[in-house]
Amino acid sequence: MHTWSFSRRTTPPNATTPRRRALSVLATTAVTALALTACSAPTTTPSGPEFFDWSDVQVAADGQTVKLWMWGGDDQGNAYVDDVLAPAAAAQGVTLERVPIADTKDALNRVFTELQAGRNDDGAVDLVWINGDNFRTGKQADAWFCDWTGLLPNMSLVSDSDPLLTEDFGTPVDGCEAPWHKAQFSFVYNSATVENPPTTIDGILDWAEANPGRFTYPAAPDFTGSAFLRSVLYSESGGYENVPSTYSDEAFDELTPALLDRLEALAPSLWREGSTYPATSEQLTKLFADGEIDMMMTYGPATLTALVENGTLPDTTRVLTVDDGTLGNASFFGIPSNSGNIAGAMVVANEALSVEQQVAKADPAVWGQFTVLDLDALSAADRELFDALPQSPVVPSFDILSRNASPELSAEWVPAIDEAWRTRIAAGQ
Amino acid sequence: MTGVSAAEPRAPASTAAAAEAGGAAPRALRNRRRWLRPTLLVLPAVIPVAFVVIGGVGTTLLQSLGLMPLVGAAELSTAAFDDTDELLTSALLSLSIAVVSTAIAAVVGFFTAVLIISGNVGGRIVGALGAAAVTVPHLVGAATVGLLLSDSGVLARIFGVSPEAWPALVAGPTWFAVIAEYAWKESAFVALIIVGTLATRITSYDETAAVLGAHRSARLRLVLFPLAAPSLLVASAIAFAYTLGSYEVAWMLGQTYPEPLSVMALRLFNSASLTARPEAAAIGVITVALTAAVIAVAMLGLRRMRAWR
């Protein structure tokens, strides 16, 4: 394209005919576009404002409006942010606006596009609910404001040695995101139809083969489907200890054949004989709700209590605790480097880490998300607040659910496994 | 675009002529004014279109050729177009879905239009339903069709068929639900476009033919169809372009694999790996090229039509 345009530009100007003229207009456009793109790839790390201490941040934050981009598919999460977190932020002088999105990648793409277009200090995104590969991709592209979490007073309530909070899917957090809550990958079954639930991940696959058509999982790269693939990879490899968390081609070539063989063998026993898969975890939940399958999975067990209560899921819905443990992760708040309300975003992230907010959010009636605070380090009175939370009849407490929890693989593993699954299992029907 | 480029070169030439031979000035000026007015009038339409087409498609092309990376240095490369096997499968799937659903929409749309034109009560009801269908967003349409046709959907429940026994209409190998959604929505669109053209011209022609003794089928074949053909072709071309380019219906109601071009482009664009963006852009370029080819054929066909001339 661009060599062609340059050669056209050398045409003598007096040879202008309408057609030539059109070509030269096109050529000029192409050259301009090239010139614009030349300055789009950031050469230096974009840095945000500098703050000396927390009061500095508070002064700068006063009156700012923070747009929080988050997945809008969880009614309880939306209600928590609107009714609990936003008023608390308002009390600090910060207006919190929730921007619902269909996928966290939409927020990331928006930031990337703005940075590509040179919009470096008044971006549309101030705060993102994020983790895993999205965080890593943003870090690679220098899209995050970094080294800010150390300033948050409430970070003192968080353990600085908790591996779930210092690394996000193997990517060092480096102060580029503040923890928000923890999640535990969970298998869910209908106790009315599954009489003797399996107790291991391998047992779940055996159960699926013994009960054809009653089990399936979302197609990667759906977040939940992708987590299921990693769970089976751990199980087939004899535990997470045998899977190096850092990606390497050798480890991939050595470990994934067993995973793919197992899933290929499993496919004919799945819903629709594995000829297709639900595209999202919501579609999986719908199959479970409609009684088409007897077992499903979720990375957000917090939503189950309300789904059972409002009748979407049967009363007999139970979370399966597997002996070999399931994946656990934490989700975070990230601030894009081109946000114009960085101080306000920091105030919101700090407020979200307060004991009051974390207790409110952990209540199954509000949202039921597991806290990131270090309970052992809290004062007796604060601990009491967490101990007094009502128990959900569906979801076990975090210490039971996270027993033998396995860490997430580094984010590089995720697209590699997803793609292997897609080209072999999804394509192999 | 052609309006601007055709107009501009003439202007300097005629002013130069005017400077040399003073007497010709008023005519040259008038000549220039004659070009200026239509140019100015067309600019509000041309500028946004050019902005989107040159800016959008140009950016996509640059990204697909590796000249607009998110990280690293720009380097000209066609690597994003390399996975030909999968691209070919996806392109054929996309084309099949678009061709089948557009063909159904054209046939259904034409007969719906004829029914609406007939002016009786049934026609008016169909007209109102058609107008209502056009206002439904495709995303909502897809969700509705999904609820209606899925294994444990409304229809399966009404007929009391168990999910296992219900045919795989949603996410099945035939892409039935996807084609049904596009055919339904686009047939309403095609019908309304045809009604718009026919409503003003049809009565006199149709009555003349009837007076001359033409039967219903003959009037349909010799009067209605030729009059409706140009708008049928244009509406079908628009429906085809839309169907080929949109992703949400195929994503919601389609199979996991293979993917239509649009779904694949979106998956790659949203992929966590930074290198996938050029591949997504490459699929965008291929989709644009396919659409442009079909639109070009439709425009050629349009020029040959008697009613259009």
Which of B273, B277, B285 is most worth mutating to test chain A (most A CB atoms within 10 A of its CB)? B273
Q: What residue has token string 């033919």? A: B209
Question: Largest Cα–Cα distance in chain B?
Answer: 90
Average pLDDT, rounded, for chain A: 87
For residue range B254-296, list pLDDT tens digits in order. Answer: 998 899 999 999 988 887 677 788 899 999 999 999 999 999 9
Q: Given an 8 Å threshold on Cβ–Cβ distance, is A2 in contact with B76?
A: yes
Higher model confidence: residue A31 or residue B99?
A: B99
Among partner residues A1, A17, A137, which is closest to B274 by beta-carbon distance? A137
Cα–Cα dist A336/A108, whole Å: 9
**Residue pLDDT, tens place only, B22-47:** 455 567 777 777 888 888 888 888 89
Mean pLDDT computed over A296-311: 91
Instruction: Report B:209-228 residues touching A (Cβ under 8 A).
Output: none
Q: What angle do CA B130, B135, B136 make, to 5 degrees?
A: 100
Please give the pLDDT value at position A6. Answer: 34
Q: Which of A128, A171, A139, A156 is nearest to A329 (CA)?
A: A171
pLDDT tens-digit profile of A141-176?
A: 899 999 999 999 999 999 988 888 999 988 999 999
C-alpha span between A358 and A181 (Å, rounded):
8
Average pLDDT of span A174-202 = 95
CB spacing of B68 vs A37 below 8 angstroms: yes
Q: Give A235-248 pLDDT, tens digit per residue.
A: 999 999 999 989 99
Flag whether pLDDT at A178 surpasses 80. Answer: yes
Residue B257 touches partner A, C-beta closer than 8 Å = yes
**ipTM, two decimals:** 0.73
What mean pLDDT is reported for chain B?
A: 85
B84 interfaces chain A, CB cutoff of 8 Å: no
Q: What is the pLDDT of residue B306?
A: 65
CA distances in angstroms from A157 to A130, A179, A345, A382, listed in the order given: 21, 11, 19, 11
Residue numbers in A near B272 (CB within 8 A): 105, 132-134, 136-137, 221, 411, 414-415
The one-letter code for the residue type at A156 is S
Collapsing DSSP to helix, strand or coil, B15 comes out as helix
d(CA A161, CA A145) in angstroms, rounded, equals 22
Chain A residues close to B288, C-beta within 8 Å: none
Sign of the CA dihedral with A207 first, then A210, A215, and A221 last: positive
Say if the Cβ atoms of B270 and A109 lie within 8 Å. Answer: yes
Looking at the complex, does the CB of residue A28 fall below 8 Å from at least one CB of chain B?
Answer: no
Assess B168–A contact: CB distance below 8 Å, yes or no: yes
pLDDT attached to residue A116: 83
Q: Which of A192-196, A224-228, B69-73 has the lowest mean pLDDT?
A: B69-73
Helix, strand, or coil (residue A333):
strand
Whole-number Å distance between alpha carbons of A415 and A129: 20
**B39-79 pLDDT, tens digit each:** 888 888 889 888 888 999 999 999 899 888 777 788 888 88
Q: What is the C-alpha separation between B272 and B251, in angstroms, rounded? A: 19
Nearest to B168 among A29, A37, A272 (CB): A272
Q: How big is the A-B interface in CB pairs under 8 Å? A: 103
A275 touching chain B per CB within 8 A: yes
pLDDT above 70: percentage of residues in chain B = 90
Contact A17 B70 (CB under 8 A): no
> pLDDT-based confidence at A3, cuts 50/70/90?
very low
Is A109 in Cβ contact with B269 (below 8 Å)?
A: yes
What backbone phi and psi angles, to 5 degrees, belong to A52?
-85, -45
Task: Give the closest residue to B276 by CA, choosing from B88, B53, B71, B75.
Answer: B71
> How far A67 CA lies from chain B's nearest CA (Å)?
21
Q: Tell me the chain A residues in contact with residue B282 when contact means C-beta distances shorter than 8 Å.
A: none
- Which of B2, B4, B5, B35 to mutate against chain A (most A CBs within 10 Å)? B5
Residue A96, chain B, CB below 8 Å: the answer is no
Name the least confident of A392-406, B172-186, B233-247.
A392-406
The share of chain B scoring above pLDDT 90, in percent, equals 46
Nearest Cα of chain B lies from the Cα of A6 at a distance, in angstroms, of 15
CB-nearest partner of A112 from B70, B172, B273: B70
* Interface touch B163/A112, C-beta < 8 Å: no
- Among the partner-chain residues A275, A279, A292, the one whose CB lies closest to the CB of B151 is A292
Q: Which residue has the tokens 């959604």?
A: B181
- Provide mean pLDDT across the span B209-227: 87
For residue A330, the SS3 value is strand
Suggest the residue from A137, A142, A217, A223 to mutate for an interface test with chain B (most B CBs closer than 10 A): A137
Tell whether the model's pLDDT for residue A18 goes beyond 80.
no
